[in-house]
Structure 1
Amino acid sequence: MSEQARLDRAVRKVVAEGNCSGCGACTLLDPGLSMRLQDDGFRRPVREGAGPTPAGADARFARVCPGRRTEARTPEGSTRHPLLGPVVSCWRAWAADDELRHRGSSGGTLTALSTWLVETGRVSAVRTARTDREEPRRTVPVTLTTREEALASAGSRYGPVAVLGPGALAPDGAVVGKPCEATAARQLLDLEGAGPEQEPLLLSFFCAGTPSQQATDTLVADLGLPEGTGLDDLWYRGRGWPGSFTAVAADGRRVSTSYEESWGAHLGRATQWRCKICPDGVGESSDISAADFWDTDERGYPVFVENDGCSALIARTRRGHDLLVEAFAAGVLVGQPLEPDAVAGVQPLQTSRRRTLAGRLLGARAAGRTVPRYVGFGLTRFAARDWRETLRTGRASFRRVRTARKAGR
């Protein structure tokens, strides 16, 4: 069997098992692979060129793809928090620039850092995602080199996009990607033995999952702009905190709904399977990860009242910590140190998922589904601490997976 055939077989298996996250890392292993939107509304790797496929690409794929394995890490100088992963320092922060703060999803911190990095020449470019200008319902990868481009890319995109791709991991650049993309990038860089001076800066954010493109298309139509209506713009969040899901038609009509409604009732229900069993929604493999630092109610659940944006920033490496200290000193960011437990306290989705994931994985496996290998996340310890909840979650996962398999999904 040829190198290309072995790699294609490995990729097809991950996709067929539902374990593909759509990160695009496999396209870095073989130039003949590309990420394309499929009928189910997710981006998946497809063979569009002849390669050449490098020798041993299938073995490299097995060590890099988050659909095969994800390994927790504790970089030098960090302390491992059981729910948040490695922490060198933690901050409550927002962009000093009011425009960037308003435009971003929470405090505009990643947008401010991206702008500062390219304007000062600390990196040559930043790879991230933004609205597709031709079809704003879609999300596309983009390379930023100016403040204007960073501003145009501000705000979360709750649609399928593969940030990783040819040129994404330039050693003098930076990447702002989902946790699975940070994981794949870090695992590839580790495999290649690159030192810090040959590695791009990895920035990430807390992620609840990637919804199908169909969810966005349906929501826009339900709000009053049916399929075929030309759009000038669409944003999911930002332009306030948390901001509203908003679509602007080419004829000037504008429709919107709250973040709580758009995510809770529509987008969040359409996330892919790999996201439902993700061990790391907090960007553990990055140098810096950002999260909403929500106000909460008496139960500890976020309160989605419009306010000035505020982020929690976690430096996960010494490199990330040093960069944040410099950004605060330069007046790029405003904020103060924060205890990691305070972040965990306002992120109930992430903490609950980490605590109950072992049960979900066991239930899925019992129902006949293959799951990725997760190393070092302490999932067994969480399961042992609350075995009743683990059992309950496992039974529910078993029933859902068995029902889906019987229906051919």
Structure 2
Amino acid sequence: MRHDLDTAIAGVVAAGLCSGCGACTLLDDGLTMRMSAAGFARPGRTRPAAATTSSAAASSQVRRFDQVCPGRNVAAQRPPGATRHPLLGPVLGCWEAWALDPELRRQGSSGGVLTALQAWLVETGEAVRSVAAGAAPDPRRTVAVQITTRDEALAAAGSRYAPVAVCAEPAASDAAGVTVGKPCEVSALRALTAGGPAPVLLSFFCAGTPSQRATDAVLADLGIGPDEPLASLWYRGHGWPGRFTATTDDGREASASYEESWGTTLGPAVQWRCKVCPDGIGESADVTAGDLWTTDERGYPLFAESDGVSALVARTPRGLDIVQRAFAAGVLAGRPVEPDEVVGVQPLQRARRSTLAGRLVGARLGGARVPRYRGFGLLRLAAGDVRAAVRTARGTFRRVRAGVARET
């Protein structure tokens, strides 16, 4: 049996466990992220693999991949001094917050806090750059971008509900910078830099990565053809939660509400790996942000347009220091909140984590591989509602047998 990096990567992709983070390309510069037929970012070889002098060297490279790849392994983090919340992960501080710069607040998702932090850190010279997701020259597509000014941070503001491999940008692992990534991306970078200097890692609450096909489908529903040039495309932002808004080169604008775009088309197109994710809340980051929704009497979010408000969680001593200084410098405003208040307005994250043990069991019984997850307390969470866990296991078993886990 071969034990080389290409074989290991092929196994993850074939099992539907690739998250599209791009971290494997940092282990071998002959690998590049490309769009798969299903519309997801997947690694492929563009240059021959470097010759290894021994099978031991090849095995060492595979072991490194196993440590880093979120499709193989994810470990819950326990930073010094942090209290571990069963659903929110490590917490050193928790706030309701927003950017004091009104333009950053309006264009960013929710309260614009991650945009404000990036802009502040690079403008003050504390970081040489920030690496984050932004629109490609064809704004239908999303790419990793480097941010060195407030204006560049503003241009990249807002969620991008589409495939992007932030880790594939070499600067993403630069300890002198900031990297803003999905939870799987920051967990890969945390593992990659374990025991050594790491960039400031910022993340956000994530419901998963939809196929690129879903973006194209929303545009088609709005009457914008695949060959029609776009001047801009916003998934969110320009208000809270903001509308999916596309503007053509000739000035025509078409939009759909957050509920219509995410709920009807983007959300249902999320890749399989995201459906078995233990961490939609960015546990491996220094700082994580998400929507602090207003909810109805059932606890479900209300999506009426308003000024954006973020839930902001400092997870590490480094993250706590950054957030506290950002408040003191007038970059952010807000008030402390309890972690339970944040979890209470995130029903999707609550449900996903509480039933994940059942989903993993159903997947395994259906014949699918699953990654190794350590330290998340998934069995304890499932024990809180055994019926829901069993129901989830049965549903996942049926989906896996129907071939969902093989969508790559």
Which interval holds the TM-score relative to the shorter structure? over 0.9
Distance 1:369 1:407, change over 3 A: closer
Give deviations 1:316-372, integer Å, cap 9, x for gaps: 001100110000000000011110000000000001100000111101110100011
Deviation of the 1:52 alpha carbon: 3.0
Deviation of the 1:53 alpha carbon: 6.6
How many angstroms apart in 2 are the aligned matches of 1:15 and 1:138?
Answer: 21
1:33 corresponds to: 31
Secondary structure at the aligned position of 2:173 is classed as coil
The one-letter code of the counterpart of 2:28 is D
Aligned residue pair count: 401
Give deviations 1:233-281, integer Å, cap 9, x for gaps: 1010000000000111111111100001100000000000000010000
Q: Note if 1:143 corresponds to 2:142.
A: no
Question: How does 1:12-161 map onto structure 2 within 5 Å?
Answer: 12-52=10-50, 55=57, 56-133=60-137, 135-161=138-164
The one-letter code of the counterpart of 1:309 is G
Secondary structure at the aligned position of 1:143 is classed as strand
Q: Is the 8 A contact 2:30 2:45 kept in 1?
A: yes
The one-letter code of the counterpart of 1:258 is S
1:231 corresponds to: 230
Q: Note if 1:339 corresponds to 2:344.
A: no
2:187 to 183, 190, 198: 183
Q: Is the 8 A contact 1:29 1:53 kept in 2?
A: no
How many angstroms apart in 2 are the aligned matches of 1:92 and 1:242?
Answer: 16
Distance 1:321 1:222, change over 3 A: same
Deviation of the 1:171 alpha carbon: 1.0
Q: Is the 8 A contact 2:368 2:405 kept in 1?
A: no
The range that moved more, 51-60 or 119-128, is 51-60
How many angstroms apart in 1 are the aligned matches of 2:288 and 2:376?
Answer: 17
Deviation of the 1:47 alpha carbon: 0.5
Secondary structure at the aligned position of 2:245 is classed as strand
1:246 corresponds to: 245
Deviation of the 1:406 alpha carbon: 11
How many angstroms apart in 1 are the aligned matches of 2:181 and 2:205?
Answer: 10
The one-letter code of the counterpart of 1:341 is D
Output the aligned Cα RMSD.
1.5
1:314 corresponds to: 313
Q: Note if 1:163 corresponds to 2:166.
A: yes
Deviation of the 1:405 alpha carbon: 6.3
How many angstroms apart in 1 are the aligned matches of 2:130 and 2:121?
Answer: 8
Gaps of 5+ in 1: none
The range that moved more, 44-53 or 306-315, is 44-53
How many angstroms apart in 2 are the aligned matches of 1:327 and 1:27?
Answer: 33
Secondary structure at the aligned position of 1:167 is classed as helix
